Structure 1
């Protein structure tokens, strides 16, 4: 019984840590998006044109990465 309770405690700790990590990653992604938008807004038209030749400003790699949707899928990946 004690072993079962300890294992459940570890599982809930792991779930809490995972949830915190997801929240932090989402926050960092939003922060990065705000920073790049601020950077884009500060560019002069010619600078924006030159930069868009090198890297498309409206493209975000992470928008196309499939993320796991549930606990089971997350543990498999």
Structure 2
């Protein structure tokens, strides 16, 4: 429960490592398999939140931001 030394870059690096550990321990493999039924490429970004309890004792809540019409995917090189 303390920040890693080294400034913003090291904090970001550690935060992403921590997220990786959380994802490995969670049921994301199961959810990923369901996503593959609907998405074959250009997989959507996802967000996750820890909540105390979902309505109706649900296990999953999915947040959606959708675009309709003529949508073009553009990949940027960083």
**Structure with more of its chain in helix, by fraction:** 1
TM-score (normalised: structure 1): 0.31
Between structure 1 and structure 2, the one with the greater Rg is 1
